[in-house]
Amino acid sequence: MTEQKIISAVSKKYADALIKTASELGSADYFTKQLDEVTEVFNSSKDLRIVMTNSSISVAKKIGIIDEIFGGKIDKKLLNFLKILVEKNRFSELNSIKAAYEQSLEKLSNIKTVEVTSAVELNFENRSNILFKLEHKLNCEIKPVWIVDKDLIAGLKFKIDDCVIDTSIRTKLENLSKTITR
Q: What is the pLDDT of residues 28-66, one digit of tens each?
A: 778 888 899 999 999 999 998 899 888 899 999 999 999
pLDDT of amino acid 5: 61
Low-confidence ranges of the chain (pLDDT < 70): 1-5, 171-172, 175-176, 182
Q: What is the pTM of this model?
A: 0.66
- 47 vs 50: CA distance, rounded Å: 5
Domains of the chain in start order, with CATH, are 9-106 (1.10.520.20), 110-180 (no CATH)
pLDDT of amino acid 182: 67
